[in-house]
Homo-oligomer: A and B are copies of this chain.
């Protein structure tokens, strides 16, 4: 049959073979780069033909005949959520050198869209996927697993059985550390402003918070963790006569909403209100934000998850002995990053710039006696 849709000049292996005067299979062997022996003279002929034709094998054709796609997927809720780019970069950092093409899918908030993205991943025959969308249902994860795709869940928890590796920061400990830090600053009571508590990460952060504050800790659960959505409820919270002197926000974006509200109400942070966030998105280190926060180690979680994923894919190769190891839950320790919003440094509204990193130390400076530190290039 004649090719009725001549491609745009992309050469095929057949053309290379013809030009080099060898068989397609020989070209393929040449391409395999060391796996098969090809004589130097043949090799040179092929090399020249490839160069002349600017030949680049088709990934699809290779996938099909090799029966593996060399592709992994990453599912995020939204790439514009500042938490994800770091995580994705972490995934890319390990997956790309390992020879995989990365497919990015954003599932948004809609279950329909989630199902679509999962479907797309299956269609693409990705060998593995890192799932990070906070709201993804277990059933979608199960679908991937059932399709023979390796999955590791990053920065979220499965709701039911541990059917896939999970990599998370220690949310409970992080919540505890942050709350304890507020107590150390002299706040005998505090309010946690959090996202929906049906998300495990928020529940765990809340548990840590309560571990430190017990009955003296109030909880305000929001429907959304977006900064703009958080500002309103936060303003309401801070308007009352019995407003809290300390707020732990379950995400940095919520914390920024709280800061917005505080600014609107004329409250000085940290003098009138101490605020600690969670995640350590880069905005927190911006001058005049100086957000003390719990490091969510997003990039590290990305690399750990991707490393795990690649290991699993390798382990599944034919010839590998034994059954795959059972799913594991990997927990990364949380660490508090001290900047000015908690009170460790005089004030947001002075010219002092908070420290950028705080490390895992939990000892804190006394509430009043800290000399300002300056930062900058």
List residues of A whose CB falls within 8 A of some B CB.
4-5, 7-10, 54, 56-61, 63-64, 67, 69, 78-80, 82, 85-86, 88-89, 92, 101-104, 106, 119-120, 122-125, 146-148, 227-235, 256-257, 259-268, 282-283, 286-289, 318, 348-353, 374-377
Instruction: Judge whether B288 and A59 touch: CB under 8 Å.
Output: no
Expressed in whole angstroms, the Cα–Cα distance for A8 and B312 within the complex equals 14
Instruction: Judge whether A376 and B89 touch: CB under 8 Å.
Output: no
Instruction: Judge whether A232 and B377 touch: CB under 8 Å.
Output: yes
Expressed in whole angstroms, the Cα–Cα distance for A104 and B377 within the complex equals 33
- Min CB gap A53→B, angstroms: 12
26 pairs, CB–CB < 8 Å, chain A vs chain B: A5-B318, A7-B148, A54-B146, A54-B147, A58-B64, A58-B125, A60-B63, A60-B69, A80-B85, A80-B89, A80-B282, A101-B124, A103-B103, A103-B104, A229-B377, A230-B377, A231-B376, A232-B376, A233-B377, A235-B377, A263-B351, A263-B352, A264-B376, A265-B351, A286-B289, A288-B349
Instruction: Judge whether A351 and B268 touch: CB under 8 Å.
Output: yes
Expressed in whole angstroms, the Cα–Cα distance for A10 and B124 within the complex equals 12
Expressed in whole angstroms, the Cα–Cα distance for A260 and B58 within the complex equals 49
Instruction: Judge whether A288 and B147 touch: CB under 8 Å.
Output: no
Closest to A126 in B: B59
Instruction: Judge whether A123 and B287 touch: CB under 8 Å.
Output: no
Please indicate which of the listed interface residues A5, A7, A286 has the most CB atoms of chain B within 10 Å of its own CB: A286
Instruction: Judge whether B261 and A288 touch: CB under 8 Å.
Output: no
Which B residues lie within 8 Å of A232 (CB)? 376-377
Instruction: Judge whether B377 and A261 touch: CB under 8 Å.
Output: yes
Which B residues lie within 8 Å of A119 (CB)? 56
> A266 is contacted by which of B103, B124, B227, B351 (Cβ under 8 Å)?
B351
Which B residues lie within 8 Å of A59 (CB)? 123-125
> A286 is contacted by which of B69, B85, B234, B283 (Cβ under 8 Å)?
B283
- Min CB gap A337→B, angstroms: 15
Instruction: Judge whether B101 and A102 touch: CB under 8 Å.
Output: no
Instruction: Judge whether A80 and B86 touch: CB under 8 Å.
Output: yes
Which B residues lie within 8 Å of A122 (CB)? 56
Instruction: Judge whether A67 and B7 touch: CB under 8 Å.
Output: yes
Closest to A235 in B: B376
Which B residues lie within 8 Å of A54 (CB)? 146-147
Expressed in whole angstroms, the Cα–Cα distance for A289 and B282 within the complex equals 14
Known pairs A64-B64, A125-B10, A286-B289; A376 contacts B82 (CB<8 A): no
Instruction: Judge whether A260 and B287 touch: CB under 8 Å.
Output: yes
- Min CB gap A3→B, angstroms: 8
Instruction: Judge whether B376 and A263 touch: CB under 8 Å.
Output: yes
Instruction: Judge whether B86 and A260 touch: CB under 8 Å.
Output: no
Instruction: Judge whether A260 and B8 touch: CB under 8 Å.
Output: no
Which B residues lie within 8 Å of A288 (CB)? 259, 263, 288-289, 348-349
Extra A-B contacts (18), CB below 8 Å, given A60-B69, A80-B86: A8-B148, A9-B147, A9-B148, A54-B146, A57-B123, A64-B64, A79-B79, A79-B85, A79-B88, A79-B89, A231-B376, A260-B376, A262-B287, A263-B353, A264-B376, A267-B351, A283-B283, A286-B289
Instruction: Judge whether A56 and B264 touch: CB under 8 Å.
Output: no
Which B residues lie within 8 Å of A67 (CB)? 5, 7
Which B residues lie within 8 Å of A318 (CB)? 4-5
Expressed in whole angstroms, the Cα–Cα distance for A92 and B78 within the complex equals 11
Expressed in whole angstroms, the Cα–Cα distance for A377 and B82 within the complex equals 20
Expressed in whole angstroms, the Cα–Cα distance for A241 and B56 within the complex equals 59
> A228 is contacted by which of B147, B227, B377 (Cβ under 8 Å)?
B377
